[in-house]
Amino acid sequence: MFSALSHLECARCGQTYDAVTWQGLCPACRSPLLARYDLARVTLRPADLAGRPPTMWRYHELLPVTGPGQVVSLGEAMTPLLGVPRLAASLGLERLWIKDEGALPTGSFKARGAAVGVSRAAELGVGAMAMPTNGNAGAAWAAYAARAGLRMLVAMPLDAPTITRAEVIAAGGHLVLVDGLISDAGRLVGAAVAATEWYDVGTLKEPYRIEGKKTMGFELAEQLGWRMPDVVVYPTGGGVGLIGIVKALRELLELGWVDGPLPRMVAVQARGCAPVVRAFEAGAKSCEPWVDARTAAYGITVPAPLGDFLILDALYATGGTAVAVDDADLLADIPLVGRLEGLFVCPEGAACVSATRALLASGWLAPTDEVVLLNTGTGLIYPDAVPADVSTVAADGALTLPG
């Protein structure tokens, strides 16, 4: 058995649908659909994984692609879970890890969702896809669509990172720049694909991107010796990664591979776009759209996430929280992490460092908590986030050594 995929279930109304035809949003209530598995049929045990290649596809029984011949891959290996003792000491934590997603193809965690989403789309006969993006998702889906021989249209805000634009074009995707935010790009995509052969594969508008993202949760548990940390700190825009990690850990609990309480999940946003933080602080179950959204952490600039209720449910269910941080703080934490640990994190990953510092200061985090931060992409995608100042200029053949 390559996959134990059983059916699709609406995350809001609970209606179920078959998983043998392409599905978008729930036809009954227009909410996201989630893939469900017949876990009773899964005979795989953790020890069985030892002989499998160290890629995200090692968990194929818990992924929706039905056979190895249907896998569309660019070599998405397991990403490192790195102990960061110097950073931990600077923050006041005893145990701190960074899961570094920048090692994936296309440079971000979006490759996970694209690998599974495109594989499943190709398997079910989809030939053309379109999506709005802040950059990284579009780059990833364009690359995997090219690998599968599918057509891809990507609508991206004008001020999206230049490198992600180049990735889309290099992969042969059709890139459209939009004068506005990702929400504006989403409206344009939705209108363009209506009643056509093109499928909208925007965030949570199809059920399989989240299945790729959830492999972060599988890897995290395996890398910790089949246990869960106390806290997971996650940069949250559309929130698919956070939702996916919780989904993965719940599946592992049901399989009996891990035990104990789920980690307390922390949704990190920037003060310039914090709809989840505002809703969480109000005890709400959904978000109000954020007006005039702006932040240097471009990947989390999502004014109105479609999966808002799923993000908030995950926070409430795990005893988690939501934190907004200042751009100045997260930008300062990029070189801090680099100096202390040699990692060039993306602005979204740096926001998790800033949030962790704030949670320690408030007492929400204890110094003894074991904390995992997600760095969702390589800082190389955002070269302008760190000014490349040259502090020493060689003159007349003389070189000044640093103090």
Q: What is the pTM of this model?
A: 0.96
- For 37-48, the pLDDT digits (tens) are 999 999 999 999
3-state helix, strand, coil in the chain (%, to 5): 40, 20, 40
Is the predicted pLDDT of residue 397 greater than 90, yes or no? no
Q: What is the CATH number of the domain that holds 343?
A: 3.40.50.1100
- For 381-393, the pLDDT digits (tens) are 999 998 776 566 6
In this prediction, residues 351-360 reach a mean pLDDT of: 98
Distance CA 12, CA 347 (A): 32
How many percent of the chain have pLDDT more than 90?
95
* Token couple for 114: 């694209």
Residue 360 resides in a domain: yes
Helix (H, G, I), strand (E, B) or coil at 21: coil
- For 152-164, the pLDDT digits (tens) are 999 999 999 999 9
- Give the DSSP per-residue string, 193-235: HTTSS-EE--TTSSSSHHHHHTHHHHHHHHHTTS---SEEEEE
Predicted pLDDT of residue 109: 98
Is the predicted pLDDT of residue 11 greater than 70, yes or no? yes
Is the predicted pLDDT of residue 395 greater than 70, yes or no? no
Residue 197 resides in a domain: no
Distance CA 35, CA 17 (A): 10
Residue 290 resides in a domain: yes
Residue 186 resides in a domain: no
Predicted pLDDT of residue 268: 98
Predicted pLDDT of residue 402: 74
Count: domains in the chain: 1
Residue 370 resides in a domain: yes
Q: Are 318 and 264 in contact (CB under 8 A)?
A: yes
In this prediction, residues 210-220 reach a mean pLDDT of: 98
Q: Which of 273, 251, 277 is nearest to 262 (CA)?
A: 251
- For 230-243, the pLDDT digits (tens) are 999 999 999 999 99
How many percent of the chain have pLDDT more than 70?
98
Distance CA 240, CA 248 (A): 12
Residue 116 resides in a domain: no
Predicted pLDDT of residue 390: 58
Residue 138 resides in a domain: no
Is the predicted pLDDT of residue 374 greater than 70, yes or no? yes
Distance CA 361, CA 21 (A): 50
Q: Are 100 and 73 in contact (CB under 8 A)?
A: no
Q: Which of 260, 277, 292 is nearest to 358 (CA)?
A: 277
* Token couple for 369: 């908590």
16-17/5-10 β-pairing: antiparallel
Q: Average pLDDT of the chain?
A: 96
State the pLDDT confidence band at 394, using cuts at 50, 70 and 90: low
Residue 68 resides in a domain: no
Site of tokens 């869960």: 228
Distance CA 370, CA 378 (A): 24
State the pLDDT confidence band at 136, using cuts at 50, 70 and 90: very high
Query: How large is the angle between the packed helices 327-341 and 347-362, nearest 10 degrees?
Result: 100
| Domain region containing 364 | 81-108+209-380
Q: Residue 77's Cα: distance from chain center in Å?
A: 16
